[in-house]
Amino acid sequence: MAGFDIDRVAYLARLNLTDEERALFGGQLETIVNYVDAIARLDTDGLEPTLHGHRVNNIFREDVPVTGLDPEQALANAPARIDNEFKMPRVVE
Amino acid sequence: MNTEELKRLTVAETLRLLRAGKVTSAELVRGLLEIMESSQQDIHAFVTIDAEGALRQAAECDARRAAGEDLPLLGVPIAIKDNMNVIGQPCTASSRILEGYVAPYDATVIAKLRAAGAIFLGRTNMDEFALGSTTQTSAFGPTENPVARGCIPGGSSGGSAAAVGGGLAICALGSDTGGSIRQPASHCGIVGVKPTYGRVSRYGVVACASSLDQVGPMTKTVEDAALILNVISGRDPMDATCLDEAVPDYTQAWAGADPEKPLAGMRIGLPKEYFGEGLDPEVRARVEAAAERARALGAETVEVSLPHSGYGIPTYYICMTAELSANLARFDGVRYGLRVPCDDVIAQYGATRAEGFGAEVKRRVLLGTFVLSSGFYDAYYNRAQKVRTLIRRDLEAAFARCDLLLGPVTPEPAWPLGVYQNDPIRNYLSDVLTVAANLAGCCALSLPAGKTGEGKPVGVQLIGPNFGEMALFRAAHALECRG
Amino acid sequence: MEYEVVIGLETHVQLKTRTKMFCGCTLEFGAEPNTHVCPVCLGYPGALPSMNRKAIRYTVMAGLMLGCRIAPYAKFDRKNYFYPDSSKNYQITQLDYPLCLGGGVDIAGDDGSRRTIRINHIHLEEDVAKLTHRAGCSGVDYNRAGTPLMEIVSEPDLRSADEAIAYLTALREMMIYAGVSECNLEEGNMRSDVNVSIRPKGQEAYGTKVEIKNMNTFSGIHAALLFEIDRQKRVLEAGGTIRQETRRWDTEALETASMRSKENADDYRYFPEPDLMPIALTEAQIAEWAKDLPEAPGARRARMTEQYGIPEYDAGVLSADRALADFFEAAAQRCGNGKLASNWVMAEVLALTAKTGTALTESALRPEMLGDLLKLLEKKTINGPTAKALLPELFEKGGDPEAIVKERGLGQVSDSAAIEALVDAAIAANPKVVADYRAGKKAAAGFFVGQVMKASKGKASPQLVQEILARRLA
């Protein structure tokens, strides 16, 4: 296995790691990745992927309104709010 | 009713007593709360006990029954795994990142149980976000096996298994992504059913791996599992993977069977790969005895092969971590749960998630992010989905030859608490016999099959084809051997 | 050096479903923050998406309208990225198996000829939440999160800013026509990402493209394109190179500006959405949905020109509005004279809608009424002025023209003896005007027509009056 870059992966996953975690997980994940690499031995050419637990298509919902949450309920769990919005640090675009 | 009687109480017996007016729900709930609370120090099966809510519901149920009402589970107390939303209750999935979160809605399984009259006792401990097979990754401390003391209860639904196995609850709900109902059921000596994918709604159940997760009953008897599955099954427009498939009365699965040969005409496959090296001799003995009993009850057993079994764990850990990494992205400290305030959004995400997630969650999120990342997607995620097809075909080929498969649930009985904690692969391997059913979507069940010399419970696993629950229950009911 | 401009558009069109793409929350523009939200669109633990059948149907209808092939197999994917406007930190979209493939939009190109701008595909996805930037913080409102959006991706077939606008105008017309979107630009129902590059004329290879994101007005797109094309020319002519980048249109400075590039390149880690099953529509299902689809405006224009013998211009005006075209066709068929119906709809009916401010569909005038009125005119039962006088009443209150004419005795007088008498009386009463006429002031004839019409209370056949007058004054 080549190319397991723990810093890049941690950045993509938005997980800050301590130096200890970086060392510990880096080593463990290399071992795990090497282990799951076993599937590279199989010939999978021409095989369809199995993406779900069953193969039934076209499962829809009708376009009918369902009562949702009022703003107080919606914001009840918010760690921080400003008026009736969820508060975030200022986002720079 | 004394404490020992209460601890042995089944769902079916509870309903009989309630219907006969021999006991009230209030009495049952008070008794159970006492047992639960006194066991917390030792067993720690619960993350939250909702004494007030349960007593209120019990009073309501008693009033409804007094008014002549009856429902499939009216007044029956049930314990719920901590990853299912119950309106007004916390729902942490045993994670710090959901501390303080109060569910504003009911999961569909909860709404169905509520409509059937069930009472919600409390929330059972689990591996954090259902990631683990020992219940030791819970942010709130481990659960101990009430039967094999000093050992793990299994996981991830270890709290539910310990609650039912230890008599702290009459029945419970668990969730199974790669064995999380069956494996702890096996270690705690109870019945656990992983229904067919699409049988039971996942709406409102904190997602682990969406294409593998399924909710199921954890009970003392096969009949109890059937009673609960009757209530929680069926199409849900809120879950687009939940199928519109008729729900039979599962308690009729064994109706009319020949009492001498209840399994006459049934062909049971014994996958040779499930009896290979690495299987604990005592476990092998108990499972082979179960196969022998099946033959004695009229079933024919045949050896079958699942040639890609060896690829189950690598495939499972790629598929499940990939889905998990996206499912857990929503825990970002914006709308609910923990937030570590920072001046910058990206810093806040990273800090919140670092603080809120435990080590096993971080490991799997990192792995899942990696297998989906550019340059590695084809070699890992995409290839694993194709291997999943091979594993599914193995099972389809086996079910072309037999009605059910029978094998062990886990390669070895429950191990002592604290062991193997820093050896992820060693932990992952305990799922080796259970992941195939999730990858293929089949139904499967774990049934007590006796104990080891040390008194550790051993389970036997039955695996059925998609929507083959009736056959599963028929065989399990015949094989059931209590105590 | 002469350059050729190459433009491709990715246009997000909001579908006019009642509820969101994946949950039962209603859609309402401009509502108070977080009043149209639920566990699903807030990305709550345990919540799951569930596909809105109508959104699938509308997208298929849009595809059929644009001549796309409907994919035999389509699926949704997760696009993973952390951003505060996303409630799950992934967006549900379609990566490699979109609902509609191919197709095109006909426009009049810069050289006047009709050209087809090819569509690459149409996929369906969910909109994000709205961020409001305040002093020291930002606020998130999830009302818009989960709104169903079609992304209509064109091939790079457009060659100027004018063509881009012609394409968007035609696209908008067709989406409104198909009834799948309001395409209300003020409400952001139609937003485009614009890809533009230039290359030396005659060169095959494309130049480096620049993307201008999230434009919601046509005038803005036009101005941004003109600016950007000019900027790229200036860069190349100064010996520079174009950087592949995303720019945004600064509506104050009226220029495109480079957006801050992210320190870390994105890696969206797309994978199939496990919470949603694939879509595999049968021919029968598609055919059933196609039944609700009107003829495309271009095809209708051509057919109406042919079928009713009306000028292409009239057919164009009529077909641009589905309700108007339906009205015209029904009226034309009722009276049996397409040209007459077209003249009346174009002149009289549209004038009434403009004057009263009442939309045709909201007026009391039904196409059958106009058809019957024109039939009376055709049969000369009434004359033109009478018909014109009746129309506002029908527009306001409706009614049966034949019954009204009968009841009020509005039928025109075609009895030549009666008209002759009126003409003679008018001539006798105005000898001076007769003299003027005979002295060569031919316009004086009009005076007599007016007098006779007045005396007949407007019912005399104007044609007959003119004939008799001509004879008498000769």
Quick one: DSSP state of residue C398? -
The answer to the question of residue C182 being in a domain is: yes
Q: Which A positions 51-90 lie with beta carbon below 8 A of chain C?
A: 51-52, 56-71, 74-75, 82-90
The answer to the question of residue B471 being in a domain is: no
Residue whose tokens read 């296995």: A1
Tokens of C376: 């009376």
d(CA B192, CA B180): 9
Q: In a mutagenesis test of the B interface, which of C78, C93, C271 is the best target, namely the one with the most B β-carbons within 10 Å?
A: C271
Residues C378 and C440 in one domain: no
d(CA C66, CA C119): 8
Residues C30 and C90 in one domain: yes
Which positions in chain B touch A8 (Cβ < 8 Å)?
373
Q: What sections of C9-158 are H helices per DSSP? A: 53-65
> Total domain count for chain B?
1
Residues C211 and C300 in one domain: no
First vs last C-alpha separation in chain B: 20
Q: What is the CATH number of the domain that holds B149?
A: 3.90.1300.10
Which positions in chain A touch C134 (Cβ < 8 Å)?
82, 90
Domain range for B100 is: 3-252
- What lies within 8 Å, CB to CB, of C109 at 6+ separation is C115, C159, C163, C166
Contact A65 C19 (CB under 8 A): yes
Residues C420 and C404 in one domain: no
> Total domain count for chain A?
1
Nearest to B267 by CA among B482, B460, B468: B468
Tokens of B207: 């997602």
d(CA A51, CA B211): 7
The answer to the question of residue A37 being in a domain is: yes
- C22 to chain B: closest CA residue: B238
List the single residue in A13, A61, A77 with the smallest CB-CB distance to B365. Answer: A13
Quick one: DSSP state of residue B431? G
Burial B201-215 (b: 16+ CB within 10 A, else e): bbbbbbbbbbbbbbb
d(CA B105, CA C244): 47
Residues C308 and C231 in one domain: no
pLDDT band at A5 (very low <50, low <70, confident <90, very high): very high
Q: Flag whether residue C278 sits within 8 Å of chain A, measured between CB atoms.
A: yes
Q: Flag whether residue C131 sits within 8 Å of chain A, measured between CB atoms.
A: yes
List the single residue in C82, C88, C271 with the smallest CB-CB distance to B381. Answer: C271
Q: What is the CATH number of the domain that holds C435?
A: 1.10.10.410
Chains in contact with B, counting 3 or more C-beta pairs less than 8 Å apart as contact: A, C
Domain range for C112 is: 3-285
The answer to the question of residue C404 being in a domain is: yes
Residues C95 and C16 in one domain: yes
Quick one: DSSP state of residue C296? P
- C277 to chain A: closest CA residue: A57
Please report the DSSP string for C114-140 in residue order: EEEEEEEEEEEEE--PEEEEETTEEEE
In Å, how far are C218, C229, C317 from C251, measured between CA atoms? Answer: 13, 17, 33
pLDDT in tens, C312-328: 889 988 888 888 999 99
Contact B373 A38 (CB under 8 A): no
Which positions in chain C touch B322 (Cβ < 8 Å)?
271
The answer to the question of residue A16 being in a domain is: yes
**Angle of the B312-327 helix axis to the B359-372 helix axis, nearest 10:** 100
Residue whose tokens read 């996953």: A13
List the single residue in A51, A63, A87 with the smallest CB-CB distance to C52. Answer: A63
Residue whose tokens read 């090296």: B277
Tell which of C408, C440, C456 closes a domain: C408
d(CA C207, CA C226): 17
User: In the sheet that C77-80 helps form, which strands lie side by side, from edge to edge?
Assistant: C90-93, C77-80, C271-272
Residues C243 and C384 in one domain: no
Residues C243 and C389 in one domain: no
- What lies within 8 Å, CB to CB, of C288 at 6+ separation is none
Residues C13 and C133 in one domain: yes
Which positions in chain B touch C78 (Cβ < 8 Å)?
326
d(CA C349, CA C342): 10
d(CA C56, CA C15): 10
Domain range for A33 is: 6-41
The answer to the question of residue B79 being in a domain is: yes
> Total domain count for chain C?
3
Quick one: DSSP state of residue B265? T
pLDDT in tens, C403-456: 888 888 777 776 777 888 888 888 888 888 888 888 888 788 888 888 888 888
Q: In a mutagenesis test of the C interface, which of B210, B370, B371 is the best target, namely the one with the most C β-carbons within 10 Å?
A: B210
pLDDT by 10s per residue, chain B, length 483: 899 999 999 999 999 999 999 999 999 999 999 999 999 999 999 999 999 999 999 999 999 999 999 999 999 999 999 999 999 999 999 999 999 999 999 999 999 999 999 999 999 999 999 999 999 999 999 999 999 999 999 999 999 999 999 999 999 999 999 999 999 999 999 999 999 999 999 999 999 999 999 999 999 999 999 999 999 999 999 999 999 999 999 999 999 999 899 999 999 999 999 999 889 999 999 999 999 999 999 999 999 999 999 999 999 999 999 999 999 999 999 999 999 999 999 999 999 999 999 999 999 999 999 999 999 999 999 999 999 999 999 999 999 999 999 999 999 999 999 988 888 888 888 899 999 999 999 999 999 999 999 999 999 999 999 999 999 999 999 999 643
Tokens of B168: 């702290």
Cite the active site residues of B: 81, 156, 180
Backbone φ and ψ for C314, nearest 5 degrees, come out as: -60, -45
The answer to the question of residue B45 being in a domain is: yes
Q: What is the CATH number of the domain that holds A22?
A: 1.10.20
Q: In a mutagenesis test of the C interface, which of A16, A51, A56, A60 is the best target, namely the one with the most C β-carbons within 10 Å?
A: A60
The answer to the question of residue C290 being in a domain is: no
Question: Do B172 and B82 meet the contact criterion of CB atoms below 8 Å apart?
Answer: no
Which positions in chain C touch B373 (Cβ < 8 Å)?
267, 269
Which positions in chain A touch B379 (Cβ < 8 Å)?
40
